[in-house]
Structure 1
């Protein structure tokens, strides 16, 4: 069983603190057995002052972090010297230094400050809540902060933006560990979307379009049902009864990316699902996802996740032989 340790600091945000336990504890194998164990700790094992108007009783101290496979640092609103000076208090520094090499380390929202101050993010890409991105980048110049994404997966170190992006990141981890079927079951259990691409925009200037001006939502839904077909920008605009210029502007306002970028992302997601859940030949997967040829699928999948369709299938379906 994969062991997860969650470190609660004073000022912890209760919502994000609860995300790892809620997501990982919902992951079960086909026999209903839990796939993760989650232990919450504080630095000294004592109660933690929450960002809300109550304290949290924690039964374990940070020695837990030296025994787990994944460490999660949720956000805190009382980071003090960490946020102001980039300096970790001694006990916290010692606790993080005791994490075993090879342990997966995850930060949600402003938890990224903790990893950065510990030197864990030196030379690495990362993200945090968009309001904190500029400050974090100024303080930790060797870390490459991307303020425009939901989460960043850099192998053994993963970071997310705020609030619901922590759910996206934990689901992403379940998907990496156990495939889309388990991750989708977890999402269904928690009544959350099963997949939001890490590269999706964090903050959209107009997240809720004015009903009087129309929306591209119906066209998005229609396109999702026709991904295998040729879809052009003029065709999408015509479906929405808009000019190409108006459609493009409203689409970007609502979604945070261009129609073309969004279509490619949806097709890559569909191809990944088919690679994980079917034995179809690569060319058939490519055709069904709207890429036309296996060569096109290989190019887009490599750009998105850095591997070929065959390698991706082997990762998520090791018992199968890719065609």
Structure 2
């Protein structure tokens, strides 16, 4: 398997679904990503980094098409074909033609060949120059030996936190936050870049494709949601449901009303209320129906339509299933109790 095969595999996987409204939040600027490799390096992390940015490019596509947001370059000292430690080869471009000031992010591969690559004069000189301009540098595993060989710090990053701000150990620089990229994997760094350029939901969606069920642990690593006060956001969502429950509404509509992605919204809504939004909507409609039955003389069909249940037949089924009584009997019993009170 070569790098082209890895790209084809990435492109053949299901594209992350991004609503048109979400795309509008993406930045228009293009980013250049460099991955420095060498003989006998490890392909595993390289493949994951490439696939992460490929999925981000696919997620950002519009119906009319556009240039990729991320351009990924594989670089090596002399260029040409590089043999990885796990029998995978890849074509690379030489450092000589790679302008040190042309990249936004640099990843350095790890692997058994790192100690030899760290002594290469061409690589050391290029690293010293690129380190002055690139915003984020992350060496994978013992890829840090190449930075050490060039007398450079192990990492450099100035984008967003990959953990909650309260746990950051580095100070802020201007409008950017220094991140401890050594604390996370290169994939987490790539996801953090994508979160910064687009939003949390796109990064989360890509992570789910790469690592199913990652939502359970991803959020603390990628940092807070755009609205850090989740409880307040979910409370706002419940108010929106109560105000709009008389008409057909979808979970996606509710999530959009509070500017959350659907999957993120579902997870937080259930955590805060103990039930999914569909159940909360049904209970809200049932509560309104009960009040209308007690306080008005509206026919059952009109009560059903006013609380968003479409018809008296549906309302009757819900009453029977949830309360064990018909809507008419509920009205009669409630009025008797009310009159006796």
TM-score normalised by length of structure 1: 0.47
Give 1 or 2 for the bigger CA radius of gyration. 2
